[in-house]
Amino acid sequence: MRKQLSYSYGEGKKLWRRIRLMLLYIAAFFTIYACFTSFVFSMRVTMSASMQPGIRAKDHFIFSSYDFYTPTLQRGSIVLAAMGEEDDRALLMKFFDAFIRFWTFQRISVSAREDFFYLKRVIALPGDEVSMTNFVARIKRKDSPYHVTEFEVSEQHYEVIIPQVPALWDASLPFSGSIEPFILGEDEYFLLSDDRNNTNDSRTWGPVPLKRIIGAALFRYWPLTRMGKP
Residue-wise pLDDT tens digits, 48-92: 889 999 999 989 998 887 655 566 789 999 999 988 765 544 556
Model confidence at 8, in pLDDT bands (50, 70, 90)?
low
Q: Name the percent of the chain lying above pLDDT 70.
A: 70
Q: What is the pLDDT of residue 178?
A: 86
User: 209 to each of 75, 82, 202, 205, 212, how far by Cα in Å?
Assistant: 15, 10, 11, 11, 6
**Contact (Cβ atoms closer than 8 angstroms) between residue 201 and residue 120:** yes
Task: Tell me the CA distances in angstroms from 202 to 3, 37, 130, 198, one per residue in order.
Answer: 77, 27, 11, 11
pLDDT value of position 207 = 96
Residue 138 β-bridge partners: 131, 149
Q: What is the pLDDT of residue 63?
A: 87
Domains, the chain: 41-89+111-230 (2.10.109.10)
pTM of this structure: 0.75
Question: Average of pLDDT values for 135-158?
Answer: 93
Select from 230, 214, 220 the least CA-distant residue to 81.
214
106-130 pLDDT, tens digit each: 666 665 455 578 999 999 999 999 9
230 and 73 Cβ atoms separated by less than 8 Å: no
pLDDT at 211: 87
